[in-house]
Amino acid sequence: MHSRLVLCLLLVSTAPLGAQARLDRSPNLGGTWVPEPGVLQFNFIHRFYVTADPTHTVQNYPTFTLATGVSRGIGVGLRYATQTATSGTNEVEFLARWQMRQSTGDGFNLALTPAFNASANSFDAELGADWSRGGLTLSLAARAMSQPYDSNRARFGVGGGAVFRLNDYVALAGDAASLLDADPGEEVAWSAGLLLVIPSSPHTFSLHASNVVNNTTAGSSRGVSQVFYGFEFTIPIRLNRFGAWFGKGATSAAAAPPADVERAIQNFSFGDTIVVRVGQTVGWTNRDPVEHDVVFDENTKSPLLATGGRWVRRFDSPGTYPYACEPHPYMTGVVIVR
Ligand SMILES: [Cu+2]
């Protein structure tokens, strides 16, 4: 998939927003992420150029990706691209992704993305690897396609990219990919762009330039002699949110036994420091109209709490425990255990 899309789709890692929030995909590489089960990922890439003739017509090339996790580390999805440069027709690609190795945070990730390009009747696949440390992610991809581009020969390609995160919200990224046996006119595919996390949201946005029109596996493997400008907007949709349409609130946890300290999350604030004794419990209830969560670390955190949602943690060791809300990192709090 291109990876990118798929990736996009598939992208979610252990944290609800983890992989995407970390901005670790360059524009034409998919990365190794997979959406969590229960999350429908919708990514929208739009690329365009303005014709040189006197009409200055804007030519548009969107690619949509829709994907979801089916279990942890496995996702499925599809990509749809219109009037692709490769065939001039619309293109549909079905894909799956298997995270063969995944680390939380920094480390090495490996994912296999088999795909079927229904427009070319081509079985395509990408093996993607990335390695992160601090603000840097380096990615490699190897691609195989049984008969892409409406031809009847198998093609192979390789790609590589890098993302450099300036902070939690802004990153610079670029990549290059090529077919191994490129014909004349099949140029090295490249992209370069700015990746942004939209603060207080689960969305990422990228502004980029590329000579790739559409982001299927085949499409991302070769470039054309034209520079396109574009953006990608990523939208993870939590399906359980829609329970509210059917009268199901997220309040079942609210029925759990009272904690020693009950705290309301209100007005985008956790309130002042909470002090408890060893062995006591603290319960947090979201009283805001938007979702929050309570995150101590990667392994100790609540799910996203809808309005009325509640989460309880017991503290068994003395110490100082800072926590924060993932969608709103400026929301912080502290529990002191004596
Ligand atoms: Cu929040």
Cα 233 to averaged position of ligand 1 atoms, centre (Å): 21
Cα 253 to averaged position of ligand 1 atoms, centre (Å): 18
- Going by pLDDT thresholds of 50, 70 and 90, the confidence category of residue 15 is very low
**Which amino acid appears at position 249 of this protein?**
G
Residue 322 above 50 pLDDT? yes
> What length is written for the chain?
338
Alpha carbon distance 250, 306 (integer Å) = 6
Task: Specify the range with the lowest mean pLDDT, choosing from 87-101, 125-139, 206-220, 318-332.
Answer: 87-101
Task: Specify the range with the lowest mean pLDDT, choosing from 232-241, 250-259, 262-271.
Answer: 250-259
Higher pLDDT pick, 246 / 177: 177
The two tokens of residue 24 are: 């670790």
Higher pLDDT pick, 289 / 115: 115
φ and ψ of 19, to 5 deg: -65, -45
Place of tokens 């993870």: 236
In DSSP terms, 117 is beta-bridged to: 93, 122
The model's pLDDT over 273-314, given as tens digits with 9 standing for 90+, comes to: 999 999 999 999 999 888 899 999 988 999 889 888 899 999
Residue 4 above 70 pLDDT? no
Q: Supply the pLDDT for residue 89.
A: 76
The model's pLDDT over 139-157, given as tens digits with 9 standing for 90+, comes to: 999 999 999 987 889 999 9
Cα 198 to averaged position of ligand 1 atoms, centre (Å): 14
Q: Supply the pLDDT for residue 7.
A: 39
Alpha carbon distance 187, 178 (integer Å) = 7
The two tokens of residue 236 are: 């993870």
Highest mean pLDDT among 27-36, 87-96, 164-173, 253-262: 164-173
Higher pLDDT pick, 6 / 102: 102
Q: Supply the pLDDT for residue 245.
A: 75
- Mind spelling out the 3-state secondary structure of the chain? CCHHHHHHHHCCCCCCCHHHHCCCCCCCCCCCCCCCECEEEEEEEEEEEECCCCCCCEEEEEEEEEEEEEECCEEEEEEEECCCCCCCCCEEEEEEEEEEECCCCCEEEEEEEEEEECCCCEEEEEEEEEEEECCEEEEEEEEEECCCCCCCCCEEEEEEEEEEECCCCEEEEEEEEEECCCCCCCECEEEEEEEEECCCCCCEEEEEEECCCCCCCCHHHCECCCCEEEEEEEEEEEHHHHHHHHCCCCCHHHHCCCCCEEEEEECCECCCCEEECCCCEEEEEECCCCCECCEEECCEECCCECCCCEEEEECCCCEEEEEECCCCCCCEEEEEEC
Q: In what order do the strands lie in the sheet with 274-276?
A: 274-276, 332-337, 319-324, 295-297, 300-301
C-beta neighbour count of 52 within 10 angstroms: 8
Cα 141 to averaged position of ligand 1 atoms, centre (Å): 36
Cα 281 to averaged position of ligand 1 atoms, centre (Å): 21
The model's pLDDT over 211-222, given as tens digits with 9 standing for 90+, comes to: 998 889 999 999
Alpha carbon distance 102, 333 (integer Å) = 30
Closest CA to 46 of 29, 30, 65: 65
Cα 251 to averaged position of ligand 1 atoms, centre (Å): 17
- Going by pLDDT thresholds of 50, 70 and 90, the confidence category of residue 85 is low
The model's pLDDT over 24-55, given as tens digits with 9 standing for 90+, comes to: 889 999 888 888 888 899 999 999 988 888 88
Cα 238 to averaged position of ligand 1 atoms, centre (Å): 16
Cα 332 to averaged position of ligand 1 atoms, centre (Å): 9
Signed CA dihedral, 271, 300, 133, 68: sign only: negative
Q: Supply the pLDDT for residue 87.
A: 58
State pTM to two decimals: 0.70
High-pLDDT (> 70) share of the chain, %: 88
- Going by pLDDT thresholds of 50, 70 and 90, the confidence category of residue 88 is low
Cα 325 to averaged position of ligand 1 atoms, centre (Å): 5
Higher pLDDT pick, 20 / 297: 297
Residue 12 above 70 pLDDT? no
